[in-house]
Structures are given as structure tokens and as C-alpha cells.
Amino acid sequence: MKLDSKLTWRSDAVCMLGESPVWDPHSGTLHWIDVVDPAIYAYANHALRRYAMPKPVASIYLAQPGRLLAALRSGFVWLDLSDACVAPLAGAWPMSPDERFNDGRCDRHGAVWISTMDRRCVSRIGAILRIASATDARAFPSHAILGNGICFSPDDRFLYFSDTHARTIHRYEKAGLMDGQAADGRLFVQAAGGSGKPDGSAMDSDGCLWSASVGGGRIERYSPEGWLVGVLDLPVSHPTHCAFGDSDLRTLFVTTMGDPRIAPALAGQPLAGRVLAFQVQAQGMPEQRLAATWR
């Protein structure tokens, strides 16, 4: 079923690899990153600001107002949005030298859940890390090559996780993960063969998961049972992630890939690399902030 939507905005900034959109309701700001040309963006009140980063950023998280936590390849830094100051966060993370951080999200308890992936993107050594503070981190094997798409059910009972390489989305019971009883999760979606693969995702208030089909040129909406119940067709072929925002959480922000060296087809797509905003009928879940234990 084609989803009822309207393209309402496109960013002036063009990213090589846009990712990790995060809506901050406190400031009315949309944040996102460029992985290839390392930067964090902030857009609010028709003004865009770019924060150049010293190293590639994997994902970002809301901290206290005016501050973001950014995951790099193998560690974290704080970004002060007022003065662009970048400060490292000391900590030891349970991951091997062959892994790096990738996509993640903060849960309602203020803990970061973040995927790791093989740096060479060939081996199933990935994990899901739960990090409650710089001194409290646990790893759960995901056996993914390219972990992505972490989001949570509205009641916070389930965690959803994509392996882009395997074209799968799995669902884990969070309590089962924590006590070791749900190590492998349950297959939620096996994407059909073709060009599209599940990348970043977002959850709506009905418990439906919205998944960016990278290479497929669309956002796919799945019911809580894992059925494909809606499709939002896009004017670009490589969406990478999505997030709900604006005051009513009925705007879906979609980050996209813009580097034709990664995907040659992007050279003929004028909106590739931009963030696209769509007015949709569904209402999203609000983005969560880090707990005080992080500060």
C-alpha cells in the first residue's frame, strides 16, 4: 500500500553519506551526520549549522540541552553546540580491534544501544552494545556483518535490529537480552531479493517500524507482526535512515546517500545526499535523551 505523504522540505546541505537523523524537541532542532565528510549538522528556525568533526562519526545521541554525544569508529566524544567544542569521553568498550561502532539509539532509560560491525564488512563478528555510562557497558553478539536500524517498540519491551548485509530485521526482547535468554532474537523481516536492503529505522506510536530501504528508493512500514503494510516512494535510490520530528511527530526526516563513488546511480539524482522531510499520517515516538549517569 502506498503511504499518503507530502515532501515538505529538503536540506540545502548535501552529504556524501547522510545518517543518524535525530529530532530534539527541546530546541526544535534536527541533527544529522555526514559519515564520509565528517560533520554533524543542526537545522532549526530556517538556519543550518555545520560542525566539522575530527574523525568519522557513526551515530549521535541527545544529551542535556545544547549537547550531543557522538559515536566515532571506536569511541565517543561530546559536542557542545554553543561553541563547537569537541571533548573525548574516556571509557572502555567491549569490542575487538576488528569492529567499529555504527548505528544506535537511546532507550527510555537513557542507555545507548549501538551496533558494531566488521571494519572490512566481511565477517559476522558484530554485536549490540548496551552502554548505560562510560563505566557500564555490555555486549550481546548479533552475528551481523553490517548492523543497523536499532529502534524500540512503544512499550520499550522489544529492540529491533537490522543486518543490512543479510537483508534481515530481527526483534529481541530486551529483558531476554539482558538475562541471556534471547541471544538470537526472532526474525522479524527477511527483505526480498533485489536492490533494496534494510538500513536505519524508526518506530511510530502504533508499533509499526519504518525502515529505509537503501538501494530500493523507498521507506517500508512494517506492522508489529512483521507484515509490509505501507511503502513511501522516494525521489532518491539510497535512503539511509529516518526519524520522526516536528512538534506533532508527524514529519518523517529521511537521510540519504549522495556519493556517486559508492553508488554510481546517484550522479543523476539531484536530491541525493540531502535530508528530505515528508508529512505523513502516522505519529512517531519521541527521541530519548541520555541518562544523568552519562554526565
Using CA atoms, how far apart are residues 229 and 119, in angstroms rounded to an integer? 34
Model confidence pLDDT, tens digit, residues 136-191: 999 998 989 999 999 999 999 999 999 999 999 999 999 888 887 656 689 999 99
**Contact of 150 with 142, CB cutoff 8 Å:** no
Model confidence pLDDT, tens digit, residues 210-230: 999 999 999 999 999 999 999
Q: Which residues are catalytic?
A: 199
Has 179 been labeled as part of a binding site? no
Residue 93 backbone phi and psi in degrees, to 5:
-110, 130
* Residue position matching grid coordinates 568498550: 93
Using CA atoms, how far apart are residues 182 and 24, in angstroms rounded to an integer? 32
- The residue among 29 and 91 whose pLDDT is bigger is 29
Can you read off the three cell numbers belonging to residue 154?
Answer: 512503544
Has 199 been labeled as part of a binding site? yes
Has 120 been labeled as part of a binding site? no
Residue 6's contacts (CB-CB under 8 Å, 6 or more residues apart) are 278, 279
Using CA atoms, how far apart are residues 65 and 44, in angstroms rounded to an integer? 14
Domain count across the chain: 1
Model confidence pLDDT, tens digit, residues 231-262: 999 999 999 999 999 999 999 999 999 999 98
Number of Cβ within 10 Å of residue 56's Cβ equals: 17
| Conformation bin of residue 207: beta by default, left when phi > 0, alpha when psi is -120 to 50 | left
Has 100 been labeled as part of a binding site? yes
The Cα-based distances of 47 to 223, 247, 249, 287 in angstroms read 36, 17, 20, 21
Using CA atoms, how far apart are residues 60 and 75, in angstroms rounded to an integer? 12
First to last CA, the chain: 44
Has 19 been labeled as part of a binding site? yes
CATH of the domain at 286: 2.120.10.30
* Residue position matching grid coordinates 571509557: 91
Can you read off the three cell numbers belonging to residue 286?
Answer: 519521541
Model confidence pLDDT, tens digit, residues 82-95: 999 999 999 888 88
- The residue among 176 and 9 whose pLDDT is bigger is 9
Look up the pTM and report it: 0.96
CA 74-79-80 angle, to 5 degrees, is 165
**Residues pairing with 139 in the sheet:** 129
- The residue among 193 and 183 whose pLDDT is bigger is 193
In this prediction, residue 181 carries a pLDDT of 63
What letter represents residue 43's amino acid?
Y
Closest CA to 3 of 279, 231, 242, 244: 231
**Domain extent at residue 36:** 5-294
pLDDT at 12 over 90: yes
